[in-house]
Amino acid sequence: MIRAPIPARRDGKSDGGGTIVCTGTPEEVAACPVSYTGQYLKKLLR
């Protein structure tokens, strides 16, 4: 995993857009409660 700022999208779509709900390091994204990516990262970073 690259420890650099990453965007987290809402709705998982790669074409047609999506909404970026948070950005930051993996730890910062994991702390974002509305991010599906954050929820996944939170489990990995325990």
- pLDDT above 90 (res 43): yes
What is the tally of structural domains in the chain? Answer: 1
Domain encompassing residue 34: 6-44
Give the model's confidence band at 19: pLDDT under 50 very low, under 70 low, under 90 confident, else very high: confident
**Mean of pLDDT over the chain:** 78
For residue 16, what pLDDT is reported? 63
The model's pTM is 0.62
Q: What is the arithmetic mean of pLDDT over 20-39?
A: 89
Cα dihedral 14, 17, 23, 28 in deg (nearest 10): -60
Residue in the block written with tokens 């909404």: 19
In a domain, 22, yes or no: yes
Residue 31 lies in a domain: yes
Q: Do the domain assignments include residue 39?
A: yes
* Strand segments (E) across 1-46: 6-10, 19-24
Is residue 36 situated within a structural domain? yes
- pLDDT reading at 11 higher than 60: no
